[in-house]
Structure 1
Amino acid sequence: MVDLTQKTQENVEYMIEAIKTKLRMATGAAMSASAFHVDRYEDILEVYEIVMSKERLSISEVEALAKELGQLRGN
């Protein structure tokens, strides 16, 4: 089990990969986990918790989450 209380780049990458898998993102390859930085850890953790708490997500939820991830990605 991953300890997500630790703000590490490895945990950021773990959460992004888990989110991409759960959302079955077709553009997952374009959204590299390494493009997300630990300084946005709390925001990424919040998205991760939302995604993992739901058994199914509607298309509009997936779109909204993908948009949020896009905003959290580093430049």
Structure 2
Amino acid sequence: MNVQLVNSLVEMVLNLSPEDQKLFQEKLSSRQKEANNQKNVTSIEKAEQFRKWVAQFPKSNVNLSHEALRRENIYDDRGR
């Protein structure tokens, strides 16, 4: 347990304005709820969440050639 770190965090939070303290507490509570919800998620649900996360990225049809993926074309091993 890192008591010194915890004490420092407490001091930092206490030095925030009341509005910022409230925002901090709301964010912390929200993160704790998310973490607790993730503990109860099955591997199938995690896989589906991952697929949804990946689907949000732009699609591309750009493919590298087999020649471009060869190790000697990726790394410069000369001089070793």
Tell me whether the two structures share a fold, i.e. TM-score over 0.5: no
Output the TM-score relative to the length of structure 1: 0.29
Asked which structure has the greater CA Rg, the reply is 2
Output the TM-score relative to the length of structure 2: 0.27
Give the number of the structure whose residues are more often helix, by fraction.
1
